[in-house]
Amino acid sequence: MLLNKTQLFLGEVNTGHIREEYGKQWVCKYGLGDLLLCTRGTVRLSANGQSADIGPGTLVLVMPMPAFSFYITSPEGWEAHWTHFKLDGHLESRPTWPSPIPGFYSLKLSPGENAQRFYDDFAELAALDNNRDPGWYRLFYGILDVMILRGNMLSSHQVMDQRMVAAGEMLKAGVSIAECARRSSMSRSSFFRSFQQAFGMPPRLFCERAAFKRACMLLQNSSKTIAEIAEECGFSSSFYFSTRFRKFYGCSPRTFRKEFQNGKSTSQIQ
């Protein structure tokens, strides 16, 4: 079933702050990604017969799944900041955090500057969601990308290799993977391993996601034809571009543009 893009832009992003008492339990079935920052108490997250207890000061990323449950286990209750979002096709990075159970990634934050950064990020996500000023949508996902990358850096207890930061920018600019490896003074296999560790995905997928993000911007904000956008974003043909785009977003580029324009005109989404 084709998603209505007005519903997609309005409904896929939600943010909030939750407080629940001891013993409260519920099940989530919406199939989006979840990012949680637990600030007080302990919650038991469960899916597919497995569970993990998450305590205060923990950042949790839940991948899209049919259903998962919450159960508040601490007498003082549980409190957290949260955001729901669409993960596939929107974020360039994947987590390399510890995974207590399949589909869940958690990162224990030490008090201080690093924890405060994530608190500030959640506050900015909430402000963007509440105001929805022009440009909020791409900025929202940009902040999520930064949060995941910062978590990857903390989970590995080291600053991301600056060669990989530079490589990501080169790939976005159209430099070939082989050339990026050469400029990084690495063999192709070492480059692939380091890039996967830094960004949570192989270079080719990173390139494709970056190309689709640019394509979406052009579809939303330009009058260029589908063929022109495909060529500008580095796809070999408009047919291949449309086929891959449909796989990522569930609709053709033409439908994406039409529904976005309809949604923008009726809902003031930009």
pLDDT tens-digit series, residues 161-211: 678 878 888 888 888 899 999 998 889 988 988 888 777 778 988 888 888
Q: At 37, list the tokens.
A: 């920052």
Handedness of CA 187, 188, 189, 194 (dihedral sign): positive
Nearest to 206 by CA among 237, 165, 247: 165
What does pLDDT average to over the chain? 84
pLDDT tens-digit series, residues 84-130: 998 776 777 788 888 999 999 999 888 776 788 899 999 999 999 99
Q: How far is CA 114 from CA 96, 198, 232, in A?
A: 17, 18, 38
- Predicted confidence at residue 96, as pLDDT, reads 84
CA separation for the pair 22, 41 (Å, rounded):
9
- Predicted confidence at residue 11, as pLDDT, reads 61
Domains belonging to the chain, first-starting first, are 5-155 (2.60.120.280), 162-267 (1.10.10.60)
Answer whether residue 266 shows pLDDT above 60: no
- Determine if the pTM surpasses 0.95: no
Please give the helix or strand (H or E) that residue 239 lies within, else none.
helix 238-249
Q: At 113, list the tokens.
A: 């500057």
Asked whether 206 and 195 are in contact (CB, 8 A), the reply is: yes
Look at residue 11 and give its three-state secondary structure. Answer: helix
* Local confidence band at 239 (pLDDT 50, 70, 90 cut-offs): very high
* Local confidence band at 7 (pLDDT 50, 70, 90 cut-offs): very low
- Predicted confidence at residue 9, as pLDDT, reads 42
Half-sphere exposure of 211 (CA within 13 A, CB side): 23
* Local confidence band at 214 (pLDDT 50, 70, 90 cut-offs): confident
CA separation for the pair 5, 182 (Å, rounded):
41
- Predicted confidence at residue 213, as pLDDT, reads 83
- Predicted confidence at residue 161, as pLDDT, reads 64
Which residues touch 234 (CB under 8 Å, ≥6 apart)?
174, 207, 211
Instruction: Specify whether the backbone of 189 is left (phi greater than 0), alpha (psi in -120 to 50) or beta.
Output: alpha
Backbone angles phi, psi at 185, to 5 degrees: 60, 45
Find the mean pLDDT for residues 7-22.
Answer: 77
Find the mean pLDDT for residues 215-236.
Answer: 89
Answer whether residue 60 shows pLDDT above 70: yes
Asked whether 168 and 206 are in contact (CB, 8 A), the reply is: yes
Backbone angles phi, psi at 49, to 5 degrees: 80, 5
Q: At 78, list the tokens.
A: 């549980």
Instruction: Specify whether the backbone of 165 is left (phi greater than 0), alpha (psi in -120 to 50) or beta.
Output: alpha
Asked whether 236 and 243 are in contact (CB, 8 A), the reply is: no
